[in-house]
Chain A
Amino acid sequence: MSIFRKKNAKKGPMAEVWRKLKKNKWAMVSLFIIIFLILVALFAPLLCPYDYALQDYEHVLEVPSWAHPFGTDNFGRDIFSRVIFGSRYTVLIGFGCITVSAVVGIALGLIAGYYKKLDGLIMRSIDIVIGMPAMTLLMCLIAVMGISLRNMCIALCITHIPSFARVTRAQVLTLKNQEFIEASVALGANKKRIMLKHILPNALAPNIIEYSLGAGGVVLWSASLSFIGMGVQSPTPEWGLLISEGRQYLRTAPHMAIIPGLTIILLTFVLNYLGDGLRDAMDPRLNK
């Protein structure tokens, strides 16, 4: 009995989700790839065999070899180093933007759900953002603010806030009428405490799914924006920009575009897979 109790002690609802997620092979593989890519991004300078901007005109447009695992580009720059260094931009933009969006979106959703008076204002403002096609909105925002890495990130954050705000608000609306909220009010808790301690933790679960799927979305959008020249500028090695640079040499040196393309696919794929895994793990209907 005591062994049984120990085993079960300290098991919150999140521990249950983690237990189920661990059973999902592909979600776990995805999680490890994501962690690996984040580590690569953080330690990029240590991992690059060459300087990502070093031009070597004796080895131009070379196919992958031992010296240059991903080949070289039209200036003789090592693509392997450029992809590794580029992960700093792509991976960090992906997680950075989605984190900011999540924090702002969840805060807005909480306030909108909890305070009826602000609900209309916040949700209608969010409808405006949703009402426009994402690409148009992104391009408009960047066009107004000017093309730069920072402005691209701001635009990406703005476009990803609504999904978090909506999901959170829906959660808050169902949660705030639950009896345990009334019970804690009856025991003297104030509004701030109710919001942060009782409602917020209960509203987080669907946001975690949203976070994982959203990160994949941001990676794709930032690559797309860089590809069309509205994001990161040359010579910075962002993955979308690498594809754009390789486009002109697609017939003679296809590896220049294909390899960064595959890395984008890999990152987006694993983020989505993890998101799906989380959704399955959190769905009470799939309980075994």
Chain B
Amino acid sequence: MEEKKLLEIKNLVIQYEVNKVIVEAVNGLDLEVGEGECVGLVGETGAGKTTTALSIMGLIPDPPGRIVSGSIKYQGEELIGAKEKRMRQIRGREISMIFQDPMTSLNPVLKVGDQIMEVILLHEKLSKADATRKAQEMLEMVGIPANRYEEYPHQFSGGMKQRVMIACALACNPHLLIADEPTTALDVTIQAQVLELIAGLKENFNTAMLLITHDLGVVAEVCDRVAVMYAGSIVERGTIRDVYKNTLHPYTEGLFGSLPNLDEDTDRLKPIAGMMPDPSDLPKGCAFSPRCPKATDRCREERPQAAEATPGHFVACFHAAGED
């Protein structure tokens, strides 16, 4: 904990109000990303991963979304309530984001090279010629020949579009890259290539990364630390080794249980019983208690707080901390 934190999220609460129904998308989320570190944020669809990412960028659609409380500190600077002008400086220059679907993330009527150049021109005082040269370098860096600068997105495959997006996001050498399921829309072989590319660039630029995914395998491959998210809060976070080898939270256990294992011969996988709770009607106690095999009366009544089980390994469960 002695190293300086690049990004520090504390007790973040975000709600959406739709037709007078309040949807608790994120409840009391704590997350830290260190300088040059890669953190995986894992969770089911609807756990609030993307909402968290958008809140860091200051892009929560308001209305209906609202940041109720909490703080997001980037290099010690509070981002919640920051001026729009300051946020624009941060976006792309300090914190960049890659979106889920590369097919729709590029403007269809602009040349791909110009889209990279645009980001550079927005943030750096360069002449057009210099920016063009830099954009071409970025294209080469993500493995696309610079002579395709003049082409349009429809002439690119999905994997190449995602590479272009990565080039856009990294064009100004940001300190933090938020990748929101960057490989979900791609097929498996391309996924591997894109991940390798991201991991490689991260090394080169010393960029910290928040990788949002629901693929535990991907996390194990690229991340240093992992945070498991369930119904808007982090249930377990720690180093890859801690979480994968010394799993403490029943939900994380459930996630691993529902993955096929190459070494063991299992006839049936063990899925987690039940469904994600409705975020507009969360249970009173632990959000996972209705599906948890270990749930007790206390779990149903009281919300467990994250506690440090071993140094750096936090878990929000009454059973994990030996308080049974």
Contact of A251 with B by CB under 8 A:
no
Whether A202 pairs with B99 at a CB distance below 8 angstroms is no
For A133, list chain B residues within 8 Å (CB).
none
Tell me the bound Cα distance from A182 to B108 in angstroms. Answer: 14
For B151, list chain A residues within 8 Å (CB).
8-11
Comparing B9-17, B115-123, B256-264, B279-287, the segment that makes contact with chain A is B115-123
Interface size class for chain A?
A: 20 to 34
Comparing B72-80, B85-93, B230-238, B306-314, the segment that makes contact with chain A is B85-93
Whether A186 pairs with B154 at a CB distance below 8 angstroms is no
Contact of B105 with A by CB under 8 A:
yes
Produce 1/0 per residue, A239-257, CB < 8 A to B.
Answer: 0000000000000000000
Whether B118 pairs with A189 at a CB distance below 8 angstroms is yes
- Find the B residue at minimum CB distance from A116: B63
CB distance from B321 to the nearest CB of A (A): 38
Given A186-B92, A189-B122: A12 and B59 interface contact (C-beta under 8 Å) = no
Partner of B59, one of A9, A185, A202: A185
Given A187-B92, A189-B122, A201-B110: A5 and B147 interface contact (C-beta under 8 Å) = yes
Whether B119 pairs with A187 at a CB distance below 8 angstroms is yes
For A197, list chain B residues within 8 Å (CB).
107, 110, 118
CB distance from B168 to the nearest CB of A (A): 6
For A180, list chain B residues within 8 Å (CB).
104-108
Given A8-B155, A187-B168, A190-B88: A179 and B109 interface contact (C-beta under 8 Å) = no
Whether A188 pairs with B88 at a CB distance below 8 angstroms is yes
Whether A198 pairs with B107 at a CB distance below 8 angstroms is yes
Whether A183 pairs with B155 at a CB distance below 8 angstroms is no
Whether A12 pairs with B105 at a CB distance below 8 angstroms is no
Contact of B165 with A by CB under 8 A:
yes
For B92, list chain A residues within 8 Å (CB).
186-189
Contact of A69 with B by CB under 8 A:
no
Whether A187 pairs with B150 at a CB distance below 8 angstroms is no
Contact of A125 with B by CB under 8 A:
no
For B122, list chain A residues within 8 Å (CB).
187-189, 193
Interface residues of A in 74-102 (CB under 8 A from B): none
For B111, list chain A residues within 8 Å (CB).
12
Can you add 11 more A-B contacts, CB < 8 Å, to A182-B99, A201-B109? A9-B150, A11-B151, A11-B155, A180-B106, A183-B97, A183-B168, A185-B59, A186-B92, A187-B168, A188-B93, A189-B118
The 3 A-B pairs at the shortest CB distance, nearest first, are namely: A188-B92, A187-B92, A188-B91
Residues of A within 8 A of B (CB): 5, 8-14, 178-180, 182-190, 193, 197-198, 201-202
List 28 A-B residue pairs with CB atoms under 8 Å apart, sorted by A's residue number: A9-B151, A12-B109, A12-B111, A13-B109, A13-B152, A178-B104, A180-B106, A180-B107, A180-B108, A182-B59, A182-B99, A183-B99, A184-B115, A184-B118, A186-B57, A186-B59, A186-B99, A187-B122, A188-B88, A188-B89, A188-B92, A188-B119, A188-B123, A189-B118, A190-B88, A197-B118, A201-B109, A202-B108
